[in-house]
């Protein structure tokens, strides 16, 4: 069997997605997600200009060899654009391999290690009562784990990360980034009282998470982690930017609140020290941004050796193709932790027909051969690309900060 054609489909059914579709000379097809929020066209060009010409005629069964060919062959290793492009090819080839075998991909990865994939949802509120209502909605729908984000009621903060009244989560907006103002002292003062209110209302069993979205320094993160210890979080996410892996030692020295990191990682080298030194508890790398199932499995196997579990990113800017692929891996690996899950817009679901389903706190991947997801290209053609960037954050004095 040979790869006979491959094309990149850019569509905006509510938000932008970049999808690779590979076809073989025997009529089988595979899909891969290549969406990089706010930088979509860079990955589309990388695929179109530099990857697709070399794919035609290759044996689609050689997944590892193709991965190595694209990684080593570029000479310029790593980086989110390169690794998202490689991920799309890798994911599409796993999809094809499943179809050839007549098996869902999780069977090729070793079969089920659990009955379903535990997911967490996003609760948020402009006020604490609004937040409690949002949490109650998730509990009523059977969720066992909920991420908690609440607006900071301080004049110094113009827009709190993760708090929005929109039914579908979407941080990217205008082509030129929107600007928000941030105050660390106001945030640190407010958040412990939010968790006190949530625990008082929902008791000890509900698993609670919080995303700091890279806003703190290690010592500030250590202080927050310690202040949140009474509320027994499942994880505190992205407390600091993770370029400096050593920085996490300082957090670890001061708090037992578990730490989750990794949605912006694209290689095992981004977290090798974090994992080896057991500086984190959950690694949140994803199929699309970390080189596909082949590379993500490598990261997760390293994590398993060091008591680190997984918590893959699953925001709405990852397409249903990514979610399908993630679920097959989540089901198979021994050290799965949690999977992030947010509903996509109905237009997105229509463009990407998929067989995974939510039931009582769990997601279940499709039992169809392959990944169990496709792209409807006629439907996709109805939604042309719209430029949209992620926001930026500044401190009160105008200094650029981390969004």
Question: In terms of CB distance, is 80 or 98 closer to ligand GCO?
Answer: 80
Q: Which does 315 bind (CB under 5 to 8 A by kind): ligand GCO, Mg ion, none?
A: ligand GCO
Binding mask 245-284 for Mg ion (x = CB under 5 A): ------------------x---------------------
- H or E element that contains 305: helix 292-305
Least distance from ligand GCO to the Cβ atom of residue 281, Å: 16
CB of 211 to Mg ion, least distance (A): 4
Identify any residues that bridge with 7 across adjacent strands, giving them in sequence order: 21
Of 263, 270, 368, 374, the one binding ligand GCO by CB under 6 A: 263
**Does residue 161 carry a catalytic annotation?**
yes
Q: What's the burial of 252, exposed, middle or buried (CB within 10 Å: 0-12/13-18/19+)? A: middle
- Which residue among 340, 369, 373, 375 contacts ligand GCO (CB under 6 A)? 340
Q: Minimum distance from CB of 161 to Mg ion (Å)? A: 9
- Pick from 97, 99, 25, 100: nearest CA to 292: 97
Interface with ligand GCO, residue 213, by CB under 6 A: yes
Measure the CA–CA gap between 358 and 2, rounded to whole angstroms: 36
Residues touching ligand GCO, count (CB under 6 A): 10
Residue from the set 33, 95, 211, 281 that interacts with Mg ion by CB under 5 A: 211
Please identify which residue in the block is written with the tokens 């089920």: 112
Structure tokens at 152: 């900071």
Q: Which of residues 266-325 bind ligand GCO (CB under 6 A)?
A: 313, 315, 317
Backbone angles phi, psi at 305, to 5 degrees: -65, -25
Which of the residues 331 through 370 are near Mg ion (CB under 5 A)?
A: none
Radius of gyration over every alpha carbon of the chain, rounded to an integer in angstroms? 21
Q: 320-332 and 80-101 are packed helices; what angle lies between their axes, rounded to 10 degrees?
A: 70
340 interface partner picked from Mg ion, ligand GCO, none, CB below 5 to 8 A per type: ligand GCO
Exactly one of 122, 213, 313, 344 is catalytic; which is it? 213
155-184 binders of ligand GCO (CB under 6 A): 171
Torsion of CA 244, 250, 252, 258, to 10 degrees: -60
**Between 168 and 315, CB nearer to ligand GCO:** 315
Q: Does the active-site annotation cover 189?
A: no
For residues 220, 225, 230, 233, the Cα torsion angle rounded to the nearest 10 degrees is 140
Instruction: Name the minimum Å distance from CB 213 to Mg ion.
Output: 6
Rounded CA separation 147/149 (Å) = 7
* Rounded Cα–Cα distance for residues 132 and 201 (Å): 8
Which residues of the shown chain bind ligand GCO in the complex (CB under 6 A)?
A: 37, 171, 211, 213, 263, 313, 315, 317, 340, 390
Which residues of the shown chain bind Mg ion in the complex (CB under 5 A)?
A: 211, 263
Residues with active-site annotation = 161, 213
């Amino acid at each position: 069997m040979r790869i006979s054609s491959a094309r990149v489909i850019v569509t905006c059914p509510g938000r932008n997605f970049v999808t690779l579709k590979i076809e073989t000379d025997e009529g089988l097809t595979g899909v891969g997600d290549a969406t990089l929020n706010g930088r979509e066209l860079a990955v589309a060009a990388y695929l179109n200009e530099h990857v697709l010409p070399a794919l035609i005629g290759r044996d689609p069964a050689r997944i590892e060899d193709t991965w190595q060919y694209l990684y080593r062959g570029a000479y310029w290793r790593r980086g989110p654009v390169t690794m998202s492009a490689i991920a799309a090819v890798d994911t599409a080839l796993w999809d094809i391999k499943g179809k050839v075998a007549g098996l869902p991909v999780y069977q090729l990865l070793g079969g089920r290690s659990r009955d379903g994939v535990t997911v967490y949802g996003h609760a948020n509120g402009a006020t604490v009562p609004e937040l409690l209502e949002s949490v109650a909605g998730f509990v009523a729908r059977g969720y066992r784990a909920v991420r908690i984000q609440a607006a900071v009621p301080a004049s110094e903060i113009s827009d709190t990360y993760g708090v929005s009244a929109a039914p579908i989560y979407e941080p990217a907006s205008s082509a030129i980034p929107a600007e928000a103002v941030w105050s660390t002292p106001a945030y640190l003062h407010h958040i412990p009282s939010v968790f006190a209110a949530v625990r008082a209302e929902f008791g000890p069993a509900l698993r609670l998470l919080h995303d700091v979205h890279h806003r703190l320094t290690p010592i500030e993160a250590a202080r927050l982690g310690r202040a949140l210890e009474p509320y027994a979080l499942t994880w505190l996410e992205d407390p600091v930017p993770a370029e400096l892996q050593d920085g996490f030692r300082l957090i670890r020295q001061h708090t037992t609140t578990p730490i989750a990191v990794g949605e912006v990682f694209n290689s095992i080298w981004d977290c090798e020290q974090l994992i080896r030194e057991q500086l984190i508890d959950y690694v949140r790398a994803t199929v699309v941004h970390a080189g596909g199932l082949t590379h993500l499995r490598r990261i997760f196997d390293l994590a398993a050796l060091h008591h680190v579990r997984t918590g893959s990113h699953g925001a709405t800017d990852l397409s249903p193709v990514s979610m399908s692929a993630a679920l097959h891996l989540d089901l198979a690996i021994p050290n799965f932790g949690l999977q992030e899950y947010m509903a996509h817009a109905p237009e997105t679901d229509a463009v990407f027909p998929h067989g995974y389903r939510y039931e009582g706190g769990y997601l279940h991947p499709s039992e169809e051969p392959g990944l169990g997801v496709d792209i409807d290209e006629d439907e996709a053609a109805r939604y042309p690309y719209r430029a949209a960037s992620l926001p930026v954050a500044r401190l009160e004095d105008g200094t650029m900060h981390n969004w």
